């Protein structure tokens, strides 16, 4: 029934494990997998970096908090994709520190914001020329993940309206960084939409990192299946919006 997600080239950050690695495998298992799949890991020996035979992916090492690392990754991607550009950038790198309002610190706030919000900003800025090239190369297509898109992996915990799971986890630094990431998604959509680049926030439902084994509303497999199905369906009307893995629109 579902043809799956068909994309020429994808760069996925945060492939060292967890959801990133699961998304990587999910992309490779699509009926027509990407011709170029770039797994950005922090650890060169990381699981996602082609050290498993199943993953025949090029691996631009990318520390999303280091502009030089991102620039090097852009160069490696450009080498492979040429004038076709990069179709899909998935900003998945994420970190958290367990905290409550009473224990939250400036250090936590700064560290988590640097990775979760500034990282996706810098990565999106750096890959913009390649995304624009893809949007131009596929200009006969409507806006979609197959043409040119930035997907920010966010969290329902970043929704100000829903303010979910307060009793379970306050994690102020994480909530604030994801709320800010959602605003970034909106800004990217407003600025890049005219160039044919779709920008959307997605809550994968899988609590990362999990509170404890087996916690989180869905399994990694369900999460990946849902996210990839959602990405296959996004269009111009979804630009600058927030969705969950079930394909439901979320309030900011």
Per-residue pLDDT, 58: 74
Per-residue pLDDT, 206: 64
- Closest to 38 (Cα-Cα) out of 87, 107, 105: 87
The model carries a pTM of 0.92
CATH number for 9-249: choose from 3.30.465.10, 3.90.1150.10, 3.30.310.50, 3.40.50.720.
Answer: 3.40.50.720
4: alpha, beta or left? (left if phi > 0; alpha if psi -120 to 50)? left
- DSSP notation for 149-191: EEEEE--GGG-TTT-TTTTT---HHHHHHHHHHHHHHHHHHHH
3-state secondary structure of 25: helix
Edge to edge, the sheet with strand 242-244 lists: 36-40, 9-13, 88-91, 149-153, 198-203, 242-244
**8 A C-beta contact, residue 16 and residue 93:** no
Per-residue pLDDT, 27: 94
| Separation CA 63–CA 66 (nearest Å) | 5
Per-residue pLDDT, 236: 97
Place of tokens 């930035």: 150
In the chain, which residues have pLDDT < 70? 1-3, 43-56, 206-217
Per-residue pLDDT, 1: 41
The helix or strand, by DSSP H or E, that contains position 18, with its residue range, turns out to be helix 18-28
Per-residue pLDDT, 51: 45
- DSSP notation for 187-219: HHHHHHGGGT-EEEEEE-SS-SS-SSTT-SSS-
Instruction: Report residue 182: phi and psi, to 5°.
Output: -65, -40
CB count in 10 Å sphere of residue 22? 21
Domain boundaries, given as residue ranges, for the chain: 9-249
Instruction: Report residue 54: phi and psi, to 5°.
Output: -65, -25
Structure letter (DSSP) for residue 103 = T
DSSP lists the bridge partners of residue 151 as 90, 200
Per-residue pLDDT, 163: 83
CB count in 10 Å sphere of residue 247? 12
∠ CA(136), CA(133), CA(138), 5° rounding? 35
∠ CA(244), CA(92), CA(33), 5° rounding? 85
Distance between first and last Cα of the chain: 31
DSSP lists the bridge partners of residue 40 as 13
């Amino acid at each position: 029934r579902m043809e799956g997600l068909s994309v020429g080239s994808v760069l996925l950050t945060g492939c060292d494990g967890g959801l990133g690695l699961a998304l990587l495998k999910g992309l490779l298992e699509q009926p027509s997998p990407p011709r170029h799949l770039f797994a950005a890991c922090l650890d060169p020996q990381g699981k996602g970096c082609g050290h498993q035979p199943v993953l025949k992916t090029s691996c631009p090492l990318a520390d999303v908090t280091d502009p030089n690392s991102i620039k090097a990754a852009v160069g490696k991607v450009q080498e492979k994709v040429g004038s076709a550009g990069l179709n899909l950038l998935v900003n998945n790198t994420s970190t958290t520190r367990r905290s409550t309002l009473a224990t939250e610190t400036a250090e936590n706030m700064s560290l988590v914001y640097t990775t979760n919000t500034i990282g996706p900003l810098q990565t999106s800025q750096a890959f913009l020329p390649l995304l624009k090239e893809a949007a131009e190369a596929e200009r006969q297509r409507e806006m979609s993940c197959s043409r040119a898109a930035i997907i920010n992996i966010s969290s329902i915990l970043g929704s100000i309206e829903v303010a979910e799971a307060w009793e379970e986890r306050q994690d102020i630094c994480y909530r604030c960084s994801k709320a800010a990431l959602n605003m970034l998604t909106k800004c990217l959509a407003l600025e890049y939409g005219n160039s044919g680049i779709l920008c959307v926030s997605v809550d994968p439902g899988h609590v990362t990192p999990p509170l404890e084994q087996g916690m989180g509303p869905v399994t990694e497999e369900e999460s990946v299946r849902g996210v990839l199905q959602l990405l296959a369906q996004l269009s111009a009307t979804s630009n600058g919006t927030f969705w969950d893995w079930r394909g439901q629109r979320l309030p900011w």
